[in-house]
Chain A
Amino acid sequence: MRIKACVALTKASIMDFLQFRLSAFVMLLGNIIYLIVIYNLWRAIYASVDNATINGMSFNDTMIYLVLASAQFTFMEAYLVWMMGRAIQSGKIVLDLLKPVPYAQYLLFGLEGGNLCAFVVTFIPTFIIVEIITKGAIHIGVNILFYLAAALLGMIINFAIDFFVGTICLYTQSTWGINIMKEVVVLFLSGATVPLAFFPETLKKIALFLPFHAIYNTPLTFLTKGHEMGLGESFLLIGEQALWAVVLLIIGKIFWKLSERIITVNGG
């Protein structure tokens, strides 16, 4: 029964997405143009130095990394904090709580379908284009499977963080500020803005110690450096991600449970 409800939610969110047919095309087009911009920018950056690789990153590596990070952002970022904030401010959250599925699950599966579509519409075409432009620089093998697993885990970690931050909105009544802070911090420390490889040593250490790099940096590493890594190392990375996912989900859940009474006391 529970699984059936989750499937129905996922299906509904896919249909909701396709309702907006033109926007699907626009989204794809926007991503391609964005890709061209970022390509030229980094080509210019690399053109201004003599070495072909900087900090172990060649132009191709950086390109692949950043473009796919952006494509990954489009399918992962579901603006959950935003959604929760709106639901809290409008009082709609009370209705959501009445659904026969726990709130976290309701949100996760309600978003998953849209994420899945965005993955197909933006990530796969972007991936193919990158592969063609770089003449097959992304190694295709077991690392793709690792990538998919890592991306899924990354999505869950991202969700858990969003859910945690969204819960903060119950206390602050401020959605925008909380959301933007979260987005900036996550994107920066996860290596989606500038690849972690370029970070100065201390900053890199801090970033690797935090969970954020598991959202973008870990999956993308499987695409850029996957073929150089041994199975043991790959599993270690996945294991670390899984650990973060579990820990963060539990923290999020506890925090939500503790905070839920705010709604029951104030009525949203």
Chain B
Amino acid sequence: MKRLGFYISIYRKIIIQDIKSKMSYRSDFIISMIGMIITDISELLAFYIMFLNFPSVCGWTYHEMLFLYGFSLVALTPLQCLFDNNWNLRHYVYEGDFIKYCFRPINIFFYFISEDFDTKGLGQFFVGMGTIVYAWYKLSLPVTFFNIAALIVALIAASLFMVSIMNIAAASCFFLTNSGYIMVTMNKFRDYAKYPVTIFPIFFRIIFTFIIPIAFIAYFPSLVILRPQEIPFLTWFSPVYGIIFFFISYKIWMWGAGKYSGTGS
């Protein structure tokens, strides 16, 4: 537990310094923020266009889908803000620079991840929250203590799944040389988390539930709030499963880092 306090205090200091230095590159900061928001808006627009042509998807209405979308955006924020350095991992490994993370008396995963705090993820958070509130209002969902608490727990669990999937995808670069495509592909999958898993045939439902658990990202947790009468049994396990899955992804990442031997001589 003392160790945990130690890591938190170091993390806080690194993040504060990192944000400070990022703010000093103002134009980059602003352009990135706008880029992020434009991305989200274009996706919302795509939704809108789709529902102009199709009144519902598999029995899911426009506003329900918006809720799912907003939910997945907010759940994405921790991944975007805190774990963004995973995207650089393969460059470090490929160019042999990863070695520098191996010489400190702290956890390598922590040391690597802590190096970058991605401020532009915050824009996404606000777009996502806005979408959730709008959909919540349009669906006239009740504002109860249970619903709010469920939303928060569900968001945390969903975040854990997103982070875990990308951790594993990033760690693939320890084993394959050019793993960029894995990250891009996984990122695309993660993107599909905003659709209800019931649209897939049973085989893929199993895969998306247990192997690449994108069903847990937005679908299962959102059901608790959207359709409390038809919650699958598994939903209640999603926080626990999220923690377990995160732990597994961490172990895979660390195993890969252990295997790493530097390409440079």
Chain A residues proximal to chain B, CB less than 8 Å: 19-20, 22-23, 26-27, 30-31, 33-34, 36-37, 40-41, 43-49, 54-55, 172-174, 176-181, 184-185, 187-188, 193-194, 198-200, 203
Contact = CB atoms under 8 A, between A and B. Distances in A.
B28 A184 contact: no
B240 interface: no
Given A27-B181, A36-B204, A181 B192 contact: no
A33 B208 CA distance: 11
B201 interface: yes
A40 B189 CA distance: 13
B34 to A, nearest CB: 7
Contact of B57 (A45, A55, A174, A198): A45
B22 to A, nearest CB: 11
A37 B196 CA distance: 12
A200 B49 contact: yes
Interface string B9-51: 0000000000000000101100111111011001001100110
Per DSSP, chain A at the interface is helix
Interface residues of B, number: 41
Contacts of A194: 46, 49-50
A27 B177 CA distance: 13
A76 B178 CA distance: 18
Interface string B185-197: 1001100100100
Chain B CB within 10 Å, residue with most, of A178, A179, A184, A199? A184
Nearest to A189: B42
Given A23-B176, A34-B185, A180-B39, A48 B27 contact: no
A96 B201 CA distance: 50
B52 A200 contact: yes
B176 A184 contact: no
B54 interface: yes
B106 interface: no
Nearest to B199: A44
B105 interface: no
Contact of A48 (B38, B54, B185, B189): B54
A177 B45 contact: no
A184 B42 contact: yes
Contacts of B261: none
Interface of B: 25, 27-28, 31-36, 38-39, 42, 45-46, 49-50, 52-59, 120, 176-182, 185, 188-189, 192, 195, 199-201, 204
A39 B163 CA distance: 26
Nearest to A36: B204
B192 A41 contact: yes
A141 to B, nearest CB: 30
B194 to A, nearest CB: 11
A31 B189 CA distance: 11
A184 B33 contact: no
Contact of A37 (B25, B181, B189): B189
A54 B54 contact: yes
Contacts of A180: 32, 35-36, 38-39
B238 to A, nearest CB: 21
A45 B54 contact: yes
7 contacts: A23-B177, A26-B179, A26-B182, A44-B199, A176-B32, A181-B38, A193-B42
Chain B CB within 10 Å, residue with most, of A46, A177, A194? A177
B199 A178 contact: no
Given A176-B35, A181-B38, A198 B181 contact: no
A176 to B, nearest CB: 5
Contacts of B200: 37, 40
B54 to A, nearest CB: 5
A169 to B, nearest CB: 10
A205 to B, nearest CB: 14
Contact of A172 (B31, B58, B59, B178): B31
B45 A188 contact: yes
Given A45-B50, A180-B39, A198-B49, A30 B181 contact: yes
Given A40-B204, A173-B28, A198 B38 contact: no
A54 B57 CA distance: 14
A181 B195 CA distance: 24
Contacts of B53: 54-55, 198
B45 to A, nearest CB: 7
A193 B41 CA distance: 13
Contacts of A44: 57-58, 199
Contacts of B182: 23, 26, 30
A47 B180 CA distance: 35
Contact of B176 (A26, A48, A177): A26
Contact of B120 (A30, A173, A177): A177
Nearest to A47: B58
A46 B28 CA distance: 42
